Structure 1
Amino acid sequence: MKDAYTLILSAIDAGEYRPGDRLVESELAERFGVSRTPVREALQRLETQAMLVRDGRSLIVATLDHNQLAELYTVRAELEALAARLAARHATPEEVRVLEGMIAEDRDSGRDPEALARTNRRFHHQLHLASHNRYLVQQLDLVRRSMALMARTTLAAEGRDETALDEHQAIVDAIRAGDGDGADRAVRAHISQAWETRLKLDAERVDG
């Protein structure tokens, strides 16, 4: 059985708890069927990792400000570009086919942004694994954890779902060809577009 920390973190990652939501120790213990002590320890750990912040006596899911988002996207671009470059060198034919299959499944599925966000996370995680570098995968897991603190997915933007899949395909094409430079460029272009889309979504929210 998963421990309290993993259960709470997974719930945040899945969007069940969003930035600004208050986490109550007793409610979490009841929901996950664990005692309050491991929940308390998990909340303290998540606070230390800046996933949660204090609001008076309560703990709430953290919200990333503009500068934090910019920093996160910068780090993500560098690490994912390295992962793609390594994947072009080390990915097995089976791993490439799995990545291609994920893209095909997403094209055939509906256009629910939250569902696409989940499959998008799986695609990127599989890309990280294809780098065959455990230390890089660990660092990218930390980045992915912080990405969960974003209020909404950029895939909710009109037309972004299809263009994102095209960008995924460009990454996989380069990896299949063993083109490390091309994979690097494709990932950087993909993340740059995602960051630009997020900026537009945030601007629209302010205007609203």
Structure 2
Amino acid sequence: MSDLKTPQKDAYSLILDAIDSGTYRPGDRLVESELADRFGVSRTPIREALQRLETQSLLTRDGRSLIVASLDHNQLSELYVVRAELEGLAARLAARHATEEEIRVLRDMVEDDRGLTDQPQALSRANRRFHKQIHLASHNRYLVQQLGLVHRSMALMATTSIAAEGRGRDTITEHDAIVDAIANRNEEVAYQTLKDHISKAFVTRLKLDSGAVKSVGD
């Protein structure tokens, strides 16, 4: 029997994952040679990946250097408006199309995440998985693609709103309500509940950025 090998990620995915995980943060300079050494790939695919990320506005120019882009207040507001509408639509469609198995997975995710409320980075990763599962449960490939673009841009935020004190517990409660609406096949409630969830996350982010609330560990 032949061995099954795990497919290797390409340079674009490797750099994107590093930005998403916070290895590279807004303002950090990306250097071809350093990236090639870090990921063990040649400089040509690294160069092509950097060009692609620049085209997608995830990287920006600082003189001759490429740095990880950051979002100003207006860009952040615009991103959350689009995210709220698309996420709400995903929840609406999930309430219509999700299989019982997909709903079971969502419920299990919420239960598993209850123990992460005081671990903002771990809960942030779990939160992305939860939302991704809702996207897939919408059974609309074009919506999944658009939400993928939105979440790529979300990686340009230096901190997670879940880091605010109390936000972790609130996030789990809100996720629970979203899954209930999807399980009950209530499309309008699912849509509005998820939109409200994104709105609350945006308010928390604005407070974090203004220093009006403390982050976990402060």
Alignment of 1:1-208 (within 5 A): 1-109=8-116, 111-204=118-211
> What is the SS of the residue equivalent to 2:211?
helix
Distance 1:144 1:108 in 2: 24
- Following superposition, the deviation at residue 112 of structure 1 comes to 1.3
Distance 1:200 1:89 in 2: 35
Distance 2:45 2:135 in 1: 31
After superposition, give the CA deviation of every residue in 1:52-77 in whole Å (9 maximum; x if it has no partner).
Answer: 00111111000000000000000001
The answer to whether the Cα contact below 8 Å between 2:117 and 2:168 also exists between their aligned partners in 1 is no
Q: Which segments of 5 or more consecutive residues in structure 2 lack a partner in the other structure?
A: 1-7, 213-218
The answer to whether the Cα contact below 8 Å between 2:117 and 2:169 also exists between their aligned partners in 1 is no
Give RMSD over aligned pairs.
0.9
Cα 1:152–1:102 shift into 2, 3 Å:
same
> What is the SS of the residue equivalent to 2:185?
coil
Letter in 1 for 2:149: L
Name the TM-score, length of structure 2 as normaliser: 0.92
Q: Which runs of 4+ in 1 moved over 3 A?
A: none
- Following superposition, the deviation at residue 111 of structure 1 comes to 1.6
Q: Which segments of 5 or more consecutive residues in structure 1 lack a partner in the other structure?
A: none
- Following superposition, the deviation at residue 25 of structure 1 comes to 0.5
- Stretch moving more, 78-87 or 105-114: 105-114
The answer to whether the Cα contact below 8 Å between 2:31 and 2:66 also exists between their aligned partners in 1 is yes
Letter in 2 for 1:160: R
- Stretch moving more, 109-118 or 67-76: 109-118
Aligned residues: 205
